[in-house]
Amino acid sequence: MKKPSVGDIVHYVSYGTPGGEYRSVCRAAIVTETGDPNGADADLGRVGLAVLNPEGMFFNRGVLMSKASDDEHKGGTWHWPERV
């Protein structure tokens, strides 16, 4: 598995809304930092992201890598884009 580095493009999984108005979907994101901003090891899969949404951008630090299979990624995690 490739280790993330600054500038990599990944997928961030949005949370969606409890009422279902918005579902959880993958969004393009750029890695802005590696490791946990609180000092944890980067090998744990934590990164900082600039997430690109149709409504604008947002920045998130310490985002965990998803450990799930292709269609079961949890909201608030990131994963490598699927190859087509």
Q: Are 51 and 57 in contact (CB under 8 A)?
A: yes
30 compared with 72, residue with greater pLDDT: 30
Q: Which residue has the higher pLDDT, 47 or 67?
A: 47
On whether the CB atoms of residues 6 and 31 are closer than 8 A, the answer is yes
The residue among 42 and 51 whose pLDDT is bigger is: 51
Output the DSSP codes for 8-48.
-EEEEEP---TTSSS---EEEEEEEEES-TTS--GGG--EE
pTM above 0.85, yes or no: no
- Lowest average pLDDT, out of 12-21, 31-40, 58-67, 72-81, goes to 31-40
Instruction: Determine the Cα–Cα distance for residues 16 and 39; give it in Å rounded to an integer.
Output: 29
Q: Which contiguous run of DSSP H or E holds residue 59? A: strand 56-63
